[in-house]
């Protein structure tokens, strides 16, 4: 059987390499300097070459130490990542959510938590609309696109349907009786390429309205928030602004809706499909 180097000594080696000092490493690890030095010596005895060059002003890594350090960091990082997944496997659901869906998702997650207090949902928000479960430490995600992606289990949440929205005060103070009136308003764009407004205006045959005017935002949520504050007319998704319209924080000046063909999906890798927490959350979402 192959004999591995002492793992505790490898951890101490990484700490010493990070601090470039036995003294600072010992303080960080709550050990004596002598204990740290002995661990490094045991590692050097194992490899039969020095890992550090000792100088009056501190330490530098030898060529062999420089070669060893990234492998040690990667290995312990991988162990930490897998350990985190294992320890939260039963009680924590790590969920990746695009920021644009948070207005829709947060009330649902809070209700789920109330219904299932023993299962904790850890949400990470992102501007990204996809996920790579091979490299990202999530159990599940909300993704957006024409399909849920490859090698995932998925349920469709809703399809994207775009329509203009604005604050009621803006609609009252400046006319929005017809689509032509949009030419007198500031258009708020959820993407830098302005495609949503351009596609909607093409859909309703309003090519004379300049789809390029108005500020751009990084997400649909930011553009919608700007509309809530009365800064202009945003193009938004019907599902995502449903509660704001119902509570009269936003109004829909026009009935025209553009179905883009894109959808929002709840996805998770096949490797976690058997886990009760994933199955439970999926069933709860499907019942909503």
235: domain CATH number is 3.40.190.290
Same-domain pairing of 165 and 222:
yes
Task: Say what the pTM is.
Answer: 0.67
End residue of a domain, out of 37, 63, 87: 87
Same-domain pairing of 138 and 20:
no
Q: Tokens representing 30?
A: 């709550």
Same-domain pairing of 31 and 126:
no
- CA proximity to 104, closest of 226, 246, 260: 246
Q: What pLDDT does 165 receive? A: 97
92-98 and 140-145 as β-strands: parallel, antiparallel, unpaired?
parallel
Task: Fill in the DSSP letter of residue 89.
Answer: T
- Buried residues in 221-239 as b, exposed as e (16+ CB within 10 A): bbbbebbbeebbbbbbbbb
Q: Does residue 65 lie in a domain region? A: yes
Q: What pLDDT does 82 receive? A: 75
Cβ atoms within 10 A of the Cβ of 28, count?
A: 15
First to last CA, the chain: 55
Task: Fill in the DSSP letter of residue 96.
Answer: E
- Provide CB contacts within 8 A for 67, sequence distance 6+: none
Q: Quick check: helix, strand or coil at residue 209?
A: coil
Q: What pLDDT does 86 receive? A: 63
Whole-angstrom distance, CA of residue 64 vs CA of residue 220:
51
Same-domain pairing of 115 and 133:
yes
Q: Does residue 1 lie in a domain region? A: no
Q: What pLDDT does 238 receive? A: 95
pLDDT in single tens digits along all 288 residues of the chain: 457 888 899 999 999 999 999 999 999 888 899 999 999 999 999 999 999 998 888 899 999 999 999 999 999 888 887 776 665 555 689 999 999 899 899 999 999 999 988 888 989 998 888 999 988 889 999 999 999 988 899 999 999 999 999 999 999 998 899 999 999 999 999 999 999 999 999 999 998 899 999 999 988 999 999 999 999 999 999 999 999 999 999 999 999 999 999 999 999 998 888 888 999 999 999 887
Q: Does residue 2 lie in a domain region? A: no
Whole-angstrom distance, CA of residue 167 vs CA of residue 156:
30
Whole-angstrom CA distances from 96 to 6, 116, 126 are 37, 19, 7
CATH code of 80's domain: 1.10.10.10
Same-domain pairing of 11 and 151:
no
Same-domain pairing of 62 and 123:
no
- Can you give the residue range of the structural domain that contains 274? 91-288
Q: What pLDDT does 118 receive? A: 84
């Amino acid at each position: 059987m192959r004999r591995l180097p002492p793992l505790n000594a490898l951890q101490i080696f990484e700490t010493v390499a990070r601090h470039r000092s036995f003294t600072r490493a010992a303080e960080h690890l709550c050990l004596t300097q002598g204990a740290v030095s002995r661990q490094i010596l045991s590692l050097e005895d194992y490899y039969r070459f020095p890992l550090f060059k000792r100088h009056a002003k501190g330490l530098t890594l030898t060529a062999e130490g420089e070669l060893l350090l990234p492998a040690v960091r990667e290995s312990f990082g991988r162990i930490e990542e897998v350990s985190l997944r294992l320890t939260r496997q039963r009680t924590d659901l790590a969920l990746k959510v695009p920021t644009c869906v948070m207005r829709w998702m947060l009330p649902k997650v809070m209700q789920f938590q109330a219904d299932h207090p023993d299962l904790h949902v850890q949400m990470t928000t992102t501007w990204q609309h996809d996920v790579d479960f091979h490299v990202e430490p999530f159990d599940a995600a909300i993704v957006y696109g024409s399909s849920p992606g490859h090698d995932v289990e998925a349920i469709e949440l809703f399809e994207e349907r775009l329509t203009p929205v604005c604050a009621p005060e803006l609609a009252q103070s400046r006319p929005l009786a017809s689509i032509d009136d949009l030419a007198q308003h500031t258009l708020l764009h959820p993407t830098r390429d302005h495609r949503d407004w351009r596609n909607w205006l093409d859909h309703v045959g309003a090519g004379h309205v300049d789809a390029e005017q108005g500020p751009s935002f990084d997400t649909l949520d930011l553009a919608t928030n700007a509309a809530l504050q009365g800064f202009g007319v945003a193009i938004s998704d019907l599902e995502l602004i449903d509660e704001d319209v119902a509570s009269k924080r936003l109004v829909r000046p026009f009935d025209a809706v553009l179905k883009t063909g894109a959808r929002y999906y709840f996805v998770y890798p096949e490797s976690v499909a058997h886990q009760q927490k994933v199955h439970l959350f999926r069933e709860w979402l499907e019942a909503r």
